[in-house]
Structures are given as structure tokens and as C-alpha cells.
A = this chain, B = another copy of it.
Amino acid sequence: MSDQPLIDRVIAGDARAVARAISKVEDGTAGASQLMKEIFPRTGRALVVGITGAPGAGKSTLVDRLAAFYRKQGQRVGIVAVDPSSPFSGGAILGDRIRMQALALDKDVFIRSMATRGNLGGLARGTVDAVAILDAAGYQKILVETVGVGQDEVEIVKTADVCVVVMVPGMGDDVQTMKAGIMEIGDIFVINKADREGVLRTEKELQALLTLASREDDWQMPIVKTVATENRGLEELAVAIEQSRKFQLTQSTSSERRHAVARWRILELLRDRLLEETLKTNQANEKLEALAAEVATKQRDPYSAVDELIKSGAVN
């Protein structure tokens, strides 16, 4: 069956087709590559906002409320929640269930959780492809939510047009020990739960930290205070996001950023693709299992097992 109808339906904004297309890409089924090739030229219209923060910062609520805010402006909103393979959060499943109640009845909101990657990789690739599909489907605002820990998760946020870093008051000590990395990824900082004690201290410390930042452009990273559960501060956040986006488009660093993202996407795809190619035959998989058995019983080291896999012609 050709994928043409699926692609057409995605481009027409059909939510079911979007869901199917994302599953296809996530599973790496045959045709996923062709699908993405046809999707790609249709992308680039959406504003992609990455939202990250430590566990417990209230990211999901903030994302939901921001989505609702955009909906009131008549925008179609896609939400991609990356649930890292953490045993410490009910992330995807619970998050989805709560969201179902508030947003899922709205046909102009599309919510998708990305599960863990498999043996062949794919969390980062799958997420970025899901964003592209939503973009092609005409969702104007796409919110990508990740917990800000873990390599893939941080990389994913960096592919967004605007990165929002969410914190909470009382992280005082944590702000001081934050690494320079936070200034590299954040375009906008949100202090959520800003009705809590300690908000001023957190804000001051964050301000001090941001003055130390040496960005490649002159963007003044704003600090926005929100109480997402009460819908406070959301308009300010939306304005800051819009300003950040507009600012970037005037900057030459914007094209450097796009180049770095493009390079990263190619590498992620290449990494997955090379491994898939290597393991596509039964013979290669049998060889892998046999070698794993030898390594497990210490008859062989893993490095020479890889040499052997490559040499045996399982690879190529």
C-alpha cells in the first residue's frame, strides 16, 4: 500500500493520520524514511518550543496551560512529551491520563508521549520526526516537554526554536550549583510555583547567574514568574517566547544554530541506520547472539566481538 494517502491526510491536518505517521516513524517501520522525506519540505512553519526542567518543577502543568492559552488565541497546538526511561516518574502514562481530561476533547490539540528508545536507538530521532510531522500537519505551536537530565533529552530540547527552562523557588542551592550548560540551552527562564516562599531569592540567584552568561548573541534571557496551576504568568511567557523567536530571526547565529541541529539530526539518523543495516539479516542477529554468549562467559571481549561482527561480513 502506498503511503500517499497517509501523507495527504497528515498534510490536511487529520489527527488520526498524524498519530499513525508518528507511530510509523517511532517503530522505524518500512516506509518511515520515505514518509519523512515527503514530510520534510512541508515543515518550518510551526513555532517549536522546548520546555525542560528538573523533575517536580511542574513542567507538564505549565505545558498544558500554555497549550490552553494558545488555543484561546485560535492556534492549533501539538504537545510531544518525552518520557525518558526513568523508573522515577510515572511521566508519560500518568501525564497523558491527566491531560486527557483537560485537553484531549479538543480536536485542535494533539498530545503524544514518546516512550523510551529501543535497542536500535531512536528516542531523539523519533521525537524530532514527530515534531516535523506535527509541523507539516499545520499545528502552529508545538511544545516539546522533556525532563532536563540525560543526553538524549537535552539534545532534543536544543532542536527547538525556543528553549524554556523551568525551575521552582527553593531550588536555591541548586541554582548555585547549576552548570554553565543551563545558560547554553535556555532562551527563557521560568520560575514556576512563584507563589511559594523563596521566589525572590531564586530570582536573584538566577539573575546573578545569567549575568555571567556569555551567549553568542545579545539576547537578554528573561525570567518569567508563573503559577501554572492558576494560569498566572502565561501571557508573559507567551510574549517572551514570541520575542525570543523574533530576535533569533534577526541574528546570524540563527543559521549556525540551524546548521548544528541539522548536523545532529543527520548523525542521529546515520547512527540508527548503520546499526539497522548491520543487523537486518537473521544471520547477523544469530552471530550477535553467539558473540554475546561468548562475551558473557568471558571467552571473548566485547571489542573483538565487534571486530568479528564487522569482519564476518554481517556488516556492510
**Bound: A266/B54 CA distance, A:** 32
Q: A148, B302: Cβ atoms under 8 Å? A: no
**Bound: A147/B303 CA distance, A:** 27
Q: B88, A54: Cβ atoms under 8 Å? A: yes
Category for how many chain A residues contact B: 35 or more
Residue A243 CB within 8 A of the other chain = no
Shortest distance between the CB of A102 and any CB in chain B (Å): 18
Shortest distance between the CB of A120 and any CB in chain B (Å): 8
Q: Given that A41-B298, A255-B296 are contacting pairs, would A94 and B177 also be in contact in the complex, using a CB cutoff of 8 Å?
A: yes
Interface digits, A50-92 against B, CB 8 Å rule (1 contact, 0 not)?
Answer: 0001110000000000000000000000000000111111110
Q: Given that A37-B301, A151-B84, A304-B37 are contacting pairs, would A309 and B278 also be in contact in the complex, using a CB cutoff of 8 Å?
A: no
Residue A200 CB within 8 A of the other chain = no
Q: Given that A54-B55, A316-B316 are contacting pairs, would A85 and B121 also be in contact in the complex, using a CB cutoff of 8 Å?
A: no
Shortest distance between the CB of A31 and any CB in chain B (Å): 11
- With both beta carbons as reference points, the residue of chain B lying nearest to A153 in the complex is identified as B150
| Among B85, B271, B297, contact of A181 (Cβ-Cβ < 8 Å) | B85
A271 partner residues in chain B, CB cutoff 8 A: 121, 271, 274-275
Main DSSP-derived SS at the A contact region: helix
Interface digits, A278-293 against B, CB 8 Å rule (1 contact, 0 not)?
Answer: 1000000000110111
| Among B36, B116, B302, B315, contact of A262 (Cβ-Cβ < 8 Å) | B302
Q: A152, B149: Cβ atoms under 8 Å? A: no
Q: B270, A278: Cβ atoms under 8 Å? A: yes
A47 partner residues in chain B, CB cutoff 8 A: none
Residue A265 CB within 8 A of the other chain = yes
Interface digits, A6-22 against B, CB 8 Å rule (1 contact, 0 not)?
Answer: 00000000000000000
Residue A103 CB within 8 A of the other chain = no
- With both beta carbons as reference points, the residue of chain B lying nearest to A299 in the complex is identified as B41
Residue A246 CB within 8 A of the other chain = no
| Among B94, B184, B255, B302, contact of A87 (Cβ-Cβ < 8 Å) | B184
Residue A196 CB within 8 A of the other chain = no
Q: A302, B269: Cβ atoms under 8 Å? A: yes
A55 partner residues in chain B, CB cutoff 8 A: 54-55, 149
Shortest distance between the CB of A278 and any CB in chain B (Å): 7
A147 partner residues in chain B, CB cutoff 8 A: 149
Query: Can you name 29 A-B pairs with beta carbons within 8 Å?
Result: A33-B307, A36-B303, A37-B304, A41-B298, A43-B298, A44-B298, A54-B55, A55-B149, A86-B148, A86-B154, A86-B179, A87-B165, A87-B178, A87-B179, A87-B183, A87-B184, A89-B174, A89-B179, A90-B178, A91-B179, A150-B152, A150-B153, A151-B151, A266-B291, A266-B295, A266-B309, A269-B306, A271-B271, A274-B315
Q: Please provide the 8 A-B residue pairs with the shortest distance between their CB atoms, ordered closest to farther.
A: A150-B150, A90-B177, A40-B301, A87-B182, A262-B295, A87-B181, A263-B292, A274-B274
